[in-house]
Amino acid sequence: MREIRSRDNATLKRLHALAESARDRRKHNETVLDGAHLIEAALDHDWPLKALFVSDSGLRRPEHQHLLQRAPAAVEQVQLSDALFAHISPVDTPSGLVALIELPPAAAPGALDADVLVLDGVQDPGNLGTILRTAAAAGLRDVLLTEGCAQAWAPRVLRAGMGAHFVLRIEERVDAGARLAGYPGCRVATALADDAGPVYALDLQGPVAWLFGAEGQGLSAPLLAAADRRVMIPMAAGVESLNVGAAVAVCLFEQRRQRSLR
């Protein structure tokens, strides 16, 4: 295992930049997986790792030793002091183990004929990662992110996603209206509008394109206009709205519930 003991090392400078900057992640076409759970999920799905970086204290943890042994022989392994690891860590409480990976290549957009989740302007990394985790748990595979969303492969989004990225098809910086043109199912928007009915009253057996906007501004006007149906989640009096992550979970699992009753 190679050791790095200087903050001036070029590899460490790049890792620090990848942890902090979406621009640098796009420039180098790389990102960072933080923590044993996420790295184990990547290995479980045969996701290629470029390198593993472990802290002095992290190397003493059995779960990290197991993952280092499990990684393919071609994956470089580097040991860092705890202080240097904290410098390159993408989170405030360093996990002791990170992996460097390449960003997935942008695949040619295919036809959308099953359920799809569309997120418009969701900027909070924790919210976005949680939503991706929820989508994977609900059985969706396609997620479209508009220009205003947080970068899907940012380390904090990956950490909140808990491995969901490895089972989803995620398209970023998408013109969602154009991608949904000709969609064979129902385009459903969550909105506080006079014509919005309870989501529980909607037949969700067929394919659905779910449209969610960020809290505060909601969906953009063009996407809201593109919806076939508008729905709301009934709430107790005096409560204005739900966190977008909670709203996604309610809607996707209502759809799953309905289909379980077939």
Q: Which domains does the chain have, with CATH numbers?
A: 2-102 (3.30.1330.30), 116-260 (3.40.1280.10)
List Cα–Cα distances, 108 to 42, 62, 95, 197, in angstroms: 23, 41, 35, 36
Residues 89-135 have pLDDT tens digits of: 998 889 999 999 999 887 667 788 899 999 999 999 999 999 999 99
Q: Read off the pTM.
A: 0.92
* CA dist 156 → 16, 83, 126, 201, 216 (Å): 14, 20, 7, 36, 22
Instruction: Provide the mean pLDDT of the chain.
Output: 93
Give the confidence band of 166 by pLDDT, cuts at 50, 70, 90: very high
Q: Distance between CA 255 and CA 258 in Å, rounded?
A: 5
Give the integer Cα–Cα distance in Å for 251 and 257.
10
